């Protein structure tokens, strides 16, 4: 099993965490049939502090911590925790979840959530693609942006119909969200519609498109000019 994390801890500073191997009842009742996979097929991606810049600016609503389990490169289990509102979303592909999609989404003039630092470059293409009624929501943190697509009981959580990212992004930022969306029937791909493999390199530079309860491939075709713009 391989573990990838954004946190870099010196050996002398490592914290020892003990687990009694008891799974909470609310999770057990959602996962009826446990699954066994070879340990060597598992990759774990951990982001201990998503939206680091926003955290330093005291914009705490954007901050999440995330854990994702991928099997043979495919995301199968994702957890996104909002520490400052004490809300946790989790989902397992072909398993259970404690979060769900919203009842409806606007595909014609969607609300698009994008990175706060790259909102301008996405806005221009989005308005050309979907029209002037399209709303752009600049936000921090990939975890927060995925939760914006779902039915989240948090008054500080904005709502969006599509999540678009146009620059290089680390896999520990997106794996958990990818797993949750996949478990709920949604999609997270590169801007060209390619599935993302959670093995190998730490990041992707093909941009990002995430949606749920929409024709994802139709969205991909609507964004032919929104190309990757290099590493951050």
13 is in an annotated binding site: no
Query: Longest Cα pair distance anywhere in the chain, in angstroms?
Result: 55
Whether 75 and 93 have beta carbons less than 8 Å apart is answered as yes
Please report the pLDDT score of residue 7 as a whole number.
60
Q: What pTM value is reported for the model?
A: 0.89
Quick one: which of 80, 78, 29 has its CA closest to 51? 80
Is 47 marked as binding a ligand?
A: yes
Of the candidates 76, 79, 75, the one whose C-alpha atom is nearest the C-alpha of residue 67 is 79
Helix (H, G, I), strand (E, B) or coil at 79: strand
| pLDDT, mean of each 10-residue run, the chain (232 residues) | 64 65 79 82 96 96 98 97 95 94 94 86 80 91 98 95 93 98 97 94 92 96 61 41
Annotated ligand binding at 173? The verdict is yes
The CA-based angle 46-49-54, given to 5 degrees, is 145
- Which domains does the chain show, CATH number per domain? 1-231 (3.40.190.80)
């Amino acid at each position: 099993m391989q573990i990838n994390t954004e946190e870099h801890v010196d050996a002398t500073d490592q914290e020892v965490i003990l687990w009694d191997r008891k799974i909470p009842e609310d999770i057990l009742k959602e996962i009826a049939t446990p699954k066994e996979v070879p340990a060597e097929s598992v990759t774990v991606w951990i982001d201990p502090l998503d939206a680091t810049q926003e955290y330093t600016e005291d914009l705490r609503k954007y901050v999440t911590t995330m854990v994702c389990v991928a099997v043979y490169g495919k995301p199968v289990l994702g957890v996104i925790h909002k520490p400052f509102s004490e809300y946790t979303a989790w989902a397992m592909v072909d398993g259970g979840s404690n979060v769900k999609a919203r009842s409806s989404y606007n595909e014609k003039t969607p609300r698009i959530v994008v990175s706060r630092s790259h909102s301008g470059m996405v806005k221009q293409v989005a308005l050309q693609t979907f029209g002037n009624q399209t709303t752009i929501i600049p936000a921090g943190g990939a975890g927060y942006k995925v939760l914006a697509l779902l039915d989240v009981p948090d008054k500080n959580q904005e709502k969006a119909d599509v999540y678009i990212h146009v620059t290089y992004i680390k896999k520990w930022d997106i794996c958990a969200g990818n797993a949750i969306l996949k478990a709920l029937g949604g999609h997270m791909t590169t801007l060209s519609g390619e599935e993302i493999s959670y093995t190998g390199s730490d990041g992707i530079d093909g941009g990002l498109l995430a949606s749920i309860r929409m024709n994802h491939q139709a969205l991909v075709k609507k964004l032919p000019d929104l190309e990757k713009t290099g590493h951050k």
